Amino acid sequence: MDAKILCLGVISAGACSGYELKKTVEEDFHHFYRASYGSIYPALAELERSGLVAGEAIEQAKRPDKKVYRITDAGRAALADALAAEEPAHTARSEFLVLMYFAHLLTPDRAAQVIDTMTAHFERVMLADVDAYERRAEPLTSGQRFAVGFGRTVLNSIVEYLRRERDGLIDELIAERADQPAEDRRLAAAGD
């Protein structure tokens, strides 16, 4: 998906600046999408060039000027078309799980540290998420509830899995080490 469609979608719910748009993306899409300024600002410029949004410079006292974009008729039509045409896809990329796949090449301490780091990370994300939606004034649309619920459900099952499987895996790794004495390990690390 092009960052332009995402920007257009966010702007369709209410005019905003690039900076504000990024906040919204962080808050609402963090489970399944992210965008940096390096992709948002060029996308906005391109959307304006093609007349799908109209930008208006707003002067502000005591803070930098900003440029607020609102969607145009052409933009609304283009958004509907893009959403109708977009192929639904869903992929994960996890350095964490690659690491775990090779757990037998890690020290048990390192394996435990990796799992604990990730567990803490996922727990933080869960808390931040609940927090953000509690502070929210406007009610969510049905689609927003669906997307947020999806993210939470997955997060929950991840944290449960990590808590359930952690100790068992570490114990196995320690047992494997014991089966294979230190001398063998040194040789294995040093040679083929």
39 binds DNA (CB under 7 A): yes
Q: Answer yes or no: are the C-beta atoms of 20 and 31 closer than 8 Å.
A: no
Selected from 8, 10, 44, 111, the binder of DNA by CB under 7 A is: 44
Residue type, 42: P
**Of residues 79, 60, 74, the one with CA closest to residue 9:** 79
Can you tell me the distance from the alpha carbon of 18 to that of 37, in angstroms, rounded to the nearest whole number? 8
For its own copies, which residue of 45, 112, 132, 169 counts as binding (CB under 8 A)?
169
Nearest CB to DNA, comparing residues 25 and 162: 25
DSSP readout, 114-160? HHHHHHHHHHHHHHHHHHHHHS--SPPPHHHHHHHHHHHHHHHHHHH
20-59 residues in contact with its own copies (CB under 8 A) are: 28-29, 31-34
| Residue 105 touches which of its own copies, DNA, none (Cβ within 5-8 Å per kind) | its own copies
Q: Which two tokens stand for residue 170?
A: 């570490």
- Which of DNA, its own copies, none is residue 156 near (CB under 5 to 8 Å by kind)? its own copies
Closest contact distance (angstroms) between CB of 35 and DNA is 5
Q: Interface with DNA by CB under 7 A: which range of 37-45, 80-88, 103-111, 176-184?
A: 37-45
Residues 3/18, Cβ–Cβ less than 8 Å: no
Least CB distance to DNA at residue 116 (A): 22
Applying CB under 7 A, the span of 65-73, 106-114, 154-162, 163-171 interacting with DNA comes to 65-73
Name the nearest CA neighbour of 70 among 86, 83, 51, 92: 51
Beta pairing, strands 53-58 & 16-17: unpaired
Per CB under 7 A, the list member of 29, 31, 32, 41 interacting with DNA is 41
**How far apart are alpha carbons 45 and 48 in whole angstroms?**
5
Binding site for DNA (CB under 7 A): 1-3, 17-20, 23, 34-39, 41-42, 44-45, 60, 62-68
